[in-house]
Amino acid sequence: MPDQIAEFEALETPALILDEARMMRNIARLADHVGSKGCTLRPHLKTAKSVDVAKRLLTDGTGPATVSTLTEAEALAQAGVRDIIYAVGITPQKLARVARIRGAGCDLAVLLDSPAQAEAVVEASQRLGQAIPALIELDCDGHRSGLAPDDPALVTIGRILNDGAAELRGVLTHAGESYEVSGRSAHADCAEQERKAAVLAAQMLRDAGLPCPVVSIGSSPTAHAIENLDGVTEVRAGVYTFFDLFQAGIGVCEIDDIALSVLTTVIGHQKEKGWIITDAGWMAMSRDRGTANQAIDQGYGIVCDADGRPLSDLIVITANQEHGIIARRSGSVADLPELPLGTRLRILPNHACATAAQFDRYNVVPTERTAPLMTWRRFSGW
């Protein structure tokens, strides 16, 4: 068995650590839940942004997948993924790039919620000589983009796509509200709201004589809580691949499901203040303070030893660019452990998407603990 502590010692800190066994457990949990209902899971790669993760996350490695940037789509298409939805509203300027990715053999679909976008997709489809597929985005809870599920513009948009040179692929929604509520029952309510909105909109399109092959819903909280998938063809989710303190705070996972952490080194102390100072500041953790308004504020993260075991009541209370300040939680009476200069620690993050984005690679602790650490590249940018 390799000496994991010695392998960590060879890493420059701060460094991003991924626990493959926890990740595989998270992947299996949602695949089993959605699969047991006979529905397709379309994982979102916006969190992982990694071909190595995609290989483990996607059915036979080829899809279906969701992405948040065309850079993700390009990297995944190049790695053999063949079925992708780019789930951010499309702009006319991006359509030539979409067509290039499609031309390389990947069925990349776009998202839109206005006649102007539909016309741009039709125009590009004509000009570029291929029917670009588009899904219509629905707003099921007022959080972001999308049409109300009973908006007559749905049919207008559907006709523009279907009657023009493009392809009407279906409808898609995302329950942003599911991040604001806690517990399985509340998330199941959000899931039902997603489902109802999507099914209603699909019906309106079909009633108008339009096709709607894809009915896509999902978020990490709703995907885990959903029971009734009638009329839904696929479920999307992303951050569950790694999980994080925010998801633990709303009850979607436990702390020990969190597969992502930041390895850091103790660089100093302010003993009379009870502070331990490390080299993982907000540049490493990201500025995401998603738990700030949850029942338990986790600061910039929960402090663990180098093996990933949480240290009693220690959190990163504040951060500068390259300094993390560790202290006991407010109200804690736990003893401050001796953590001398040079000690390696691991910090569990508020938000896996934001923290992972601060790094260009994962240092992966393999499921097979007798194997050495692996390095998986991340892609970034747009």
Among 314, 306, 307, smallest CA distance to 336 is for 314
Q: How many CB atoms lie within 10 A of CB 112?
A: 26
Candidate list 40, 173, 265, 291; residue touching its own copies; CB under 8 A: 265
Candidate list 229, 359, 362, 363; residue touching its own copies; CB under 8 A: 359
- The answer to whether 363 and 15 have CB atoms below 8 angstroms apart is yes
Q: What angle do CA 174, 177, 179 make, to 5 degrees?
A: 95
Q: Is 342 in the site for its own copies (CB under 8 A)?
A: yes
- The answer to whether 243 and 250 have CB atoms below 8 angstroms apart is no
Among 192, 280, 308, smallest CA distance to 299 is for 280
CA 225/CA 192 separation, integer angstroms: 10
Q: Is 266 in the site for its own copies (CB under 8 A)?
A: yes
By rule CB under 8 A, what count of residues binds its own copies?
A: 62
CA 161/CA 87 separation, integer angstroms: 17
Question: At closest approach, how far in Å is the CB of 231 from its own copies?
Answer: 25
CA 145/CA 110 separation, integer angstroms: 14
How many CA atoms within 13 Å lie on the side-chain side of 364? 22
Of 311-340, binders to its own copies (CB under 8 A) are 320-323, 325, 340
For 178, 180, 231, 370, the CA distances from 221, given in Å and listed in that order, are: 6, 10, 20, 34
Q: Pick the piece of the chain touching its own copies (CB under 8 A) from 9-17, 162-170, 193-201, 296-304.
A: 9-17
Question: At closest approach, how far in Å is the CB of 267 from its own copies?
Answer: 4
Candidate list 7, 227, 254, 360; residue touching its own copies; CB under 8 A: 360
Of 147-176, binders to its own copies (CB under 8 A) are 176
Strands 260-270 and 344-348: antiparallel
Q: Is 378 in the site for its own copies (CB under 8 A)?
A: no
The smaller minimum CB distance to its own copies, of residues 142 and 331, is found at 142
Name the one residue in this structure whose structure tokens are 């839940």: 33
Of 53-112, binders to its own copies (CB under 8 A) are 68-70, 88-94, 97, 112
Q: Pick the piece of the chain touching its own copies (CB under 8 A) from 54-62, 140-148, 165-173, 327-335.
A: 140-148
Binding site for its own copies (CB under 8 A): 9, 12-15, 46, 68-70, 88-94, 97, 112-114, 116-117, 120, 139, 142, 144-145, 176, 265-270, 273, 277, 279, 282-284, 286-289, 320-323, 325, 340-342, 351, 353-354, 357-360, 380-382
